[in-house]
Amino acid sequence: MNYKNFFWNIILLSSTLAFSIILPLNFIFHFRHDENLVLILRTIDVIFIADIVFTGWKYYSKTNEFFFEQGTGIRRYLSTWFIIDFISIIPILFIADNSFWGMIRLIKFFKLIQLMKLYKNREIRIAGVLSFLYFGFWFIQISHWLACGWLYFKGYEANLTHSDNYVRALYWTITTITTIGYGDIVPSTTAQMIYVMAVEIIGVGMYGFVIGNVANILSKKDPSKQQYQNNLDNLTSLIRLRKLPVELHQKLRDYYTYIYYQKFGYDEVNFINKLPKSLSSEVSYYIKKDLISKIPIFQEASREFVEGISLHLKPVVVVPNSYVFKEGDVAEEMYFVVSGKLKVLIDSDQKEIAELNDGDFFGEIAIFENIKRTASVKAMTYCDLYILTKQQYSKVTFKYPAIARLIEAEAKIRKDKL
C-alpha cells in the first residue's frame, strides 16, 4: 500500500463528501452568504485542482493506483481520468458557485467509487471492513439526499431551527425507507405525494440492497468454520440414523474439532492445485517450510529440493490410539511426523521398539523394497503426518540424487537395527 496515495485519496473523499453533504442543504436553507461555507467550498476547489496535478504526477511516476488496468504515462491520464478531474473543476473556472451547475462537481464520485472498489479488491485482509464502510457511505448519502428532498417538497417549518428541521426530515426519511412508516409526518399536496412514492419505491429498494449486502458481509463465514459446521451437521444426521456408541461420536466430534483448530492441511490441497505450477510450488514451500525444517534429513537440503518435495507431501491426521499401519500390511508410502507421538511395535504389538516424535520419519523401508510392513506404528496422541508415496518419492529423488542417498543411508542404519 502506497501511504502517500492513500492519504491523498482520503482527503479527496472527505472533501467530495463534504461537498455532497453541503450542496443540497445550501439549496434549501440558502446558506449562500455564510462565510464558513464559502471557505469550505474554496478549500474543496483547491483540493480538486491539486488532484489534477497529483494524479498527473502519479501517472508520470507510475505510482498510479490504476496502473494495472490502464497503463501509465501522462498521455494515458489525459485520455482517461483527466476528463472527469477536469469537468469537476469547471464550476470553479466559471465561478458559478451556488448555481445548479455547481452540482457538476459530483462527477468526482465516479473516480472515488473506482478507487474504493480498487482498495476493496487490493487490501484483501480488510476487504470486509472496507465493504462495510462503502455501504455505510452510500447509506448516509442516500438518506441525506432523500431528507433534503423532503425538506424541499414539504417546506421547512419557520418556528424550528435549521438543525431541528433537518433532523425531522431525516427522521421521516429513515422511518420511511425502513418501511416503519409511523404516519406522524405525511404528505399533503399532490407533489409531495409523488415525491413520497418515489422515495418509497427507490429508497426502500436501495435500503434493502444496502442492508442485504451488509448482512452478506456479516454472515460470510470463514470457509474452515463452514466446513467444520458441515461436518458436525453430517455427524448429527448420521447419529440420528444409526446407533453409534457415544464414545465413537465423541471421538468423531473431537476429530473434527481438532482439524478445525489445528487447520492442518486445511483446503491447501485444493488451493494449491488450482495455481499455475510455478506459484503452486512456492506457496506449497512456504506453507510446509516450517514443518519440513523440523525433519532432520531435510535441514541441509536446498530450497529447490524442499519446494519439490513439499508439492508431493500429502497432509494426513491420525487420531489417538489408532494404527498408521500394521505389521504385515502392504507397504506403499513413508511418513514424516510433523507433530505428535507414535510408537513402533513388533511381535503382534507386544514389544515397543521405538518412540517417534516431531521431526522423525518412518516407513521408509517400504519405499526401497517391495516388502510388507515389518512393524506396526500406533499413534499415542493426535498426529499430523505427511505422506510420501513410492511413486512421488522416485519423481523427487530422480532430480535430487544427493538427498536420496542420505535417506537411503539412514534407512539402512535403521533396518539393520531391527
What residues from 246 to 275 belong to the interface with its own copies (CB under 8 A)? Answer: 248-249, 251-255, 257-258, 261, 263, 266-268, 271, 275
The interface mask with its own copies, positions 115-144, x = CB under 8 A, is ------xx-xx-x-----------------
Q: Which is nearer to its own copies, 78 or 194 (CB)?
A: 194
Give the other-Cβ count within 10 Å of 225's Cβ.
10
**Smallest separation (angstroms) from its own copies to the CB of 312:** 15
Pairing of strands 342-346, 351-356: antiparallel
Q: Which is nearer to its own copies, 61 or 219 (CB)?
A: 219
Residue 25 binds to its own copies (criterion: CB under 8 A)? no
Q: How far, in Å, CA of 152 to CA of 156, rounded?
A: 8
Closest CA to 225 of 181, 197, 267: 267
Q: Which is nearer to its own copies, 25 or 283 (CB)?
A: 283
Q: Which of 108, 144, 168, 373 binds its own copies (CB under 8 A)?
A: 168
- Among 3-11, 33-41, 192-200, 335-343, which window interacts with its own copies (CB under 8 A)? 192-200
Q: Which is nearer to its own copies, 35 or 163 (CB)?
A: 163
Under DSSP, is residue 63 helix (H, G, I), strand (E, B) or coil? Answer: coil
Residue 50 binds to its own copies (criterion: CB under 8 A)? no
Tell me how many residues contact its own copies (CB under 8 A).
92
Residue 241 binds to its own copies (criterion: CB under 8 A)? yes
Closest CA to 289 of 274, 267, 307, 277: 307
Q: Which of 106, 205, 371, 381 binds its own copies (CB under 8 A)?
A: 205
Q: Which of 2, 63, 79, 178 binds its own copies (CB under 8 A)?
A: 178
Residue 80 binds to its own copies (criterion: CB under 8 A)? no
Q: Which amino acid is at 142?
A: I
Q: Which of 55, 176, 376, 397 binds its own copies (CB under 8 A)?
A: 176
Q: Which is nearer to its own copies, 47 or 334 (CB)?
A: 334
Using CA of residue 24, residue 28, residue 31, residue 33, what is the dihedral sign?
A: positive
- Are 375 and 327 in contact, with CB atoms under 8 Å apart? yes
**Smallest separation (angstroms) from its own copies to the CB of 157:** 12
Compute the CA torsion angle 255, 258, 259, 262 (nearest 10 deg).
Answer: -160
- Among 73-81, 215-223, 334-342, 407-415, which window interacts with its own copies (CB under 8 A)? 215-223
Compute the CA torsion angle 210, 211, 217, 219 (nearest 10 deg).
Answer: -160
Residue 21 binds to its own copies (criterion: CB under 8 A)? no
The interface mask with its own copies, positions 277-306, x = CB under 8 A, is xxx--xx--xx-------------------
Give residues 302-361 in contact with its own copies (rule: CB under 8 A).
Answer: 316-319, 322-323, 328
- Among 11-19, 77-85, 174-182, 293-301, which window interacts with its own copies (CB under 8 A)? 174-182
Q: Which of 43, 236, 391, 394 binds its own copies (CB under 8 A)?
A: 236
Residue 294's H or E segment, with its range, is: none
Residue 158 binds to its own copies (criterion: CB under 8 A)? no
Closest CA to 170 of 148, 201, 200, 199: 148
Q: Which is nearer to its own copies, 80 or 175 (CB)?
A: 175
Under DSSP, is residue 17 helix (H, G, I), strand (E, B) or coil? Answer: helix
Q: Which is nearer to its own copies, 166 or 298 (CB)?
A: 166
Using CA of residue 366, residue 371, residue 372, residue 374, what is the dihedral sign?
A: negative
Write down how long the chain is.
418
Q: How far, in Å, CA of 131 to CA of 124, rounded?
A: 11
**Smallest separation (angstroms) from its own copies to the CB of 36:** 22
**Smallest separation (angstroms) from its own copies to the CB of 84:** 21
Closest CA to 13 of 124, 118, 148: 118
Q: Which of 29, 152, 171, 368 binds its own copies (CB under 8 A)?
A: 171
Q: How far, in Å, CA of 194 to CA of 106, rounded?
A: 25
| Residue recorded with cell 537440503 | 301
Give the number of C-alpha atoms closer than 13 A to the C-alpha of residue 134, restricted to the C-beta side: 20
**Smallest separation (angstroms) from its own copies to the CB of 181:** 4
User: How far is residue 36 from each of residues 22, 33, 88, 164, 296, measured CA to CA in Å?
Assistant: 12, 9, 22, 20, 72
- Are 89 and 48 in contact, with CB atoms under 8 Å apart? yes
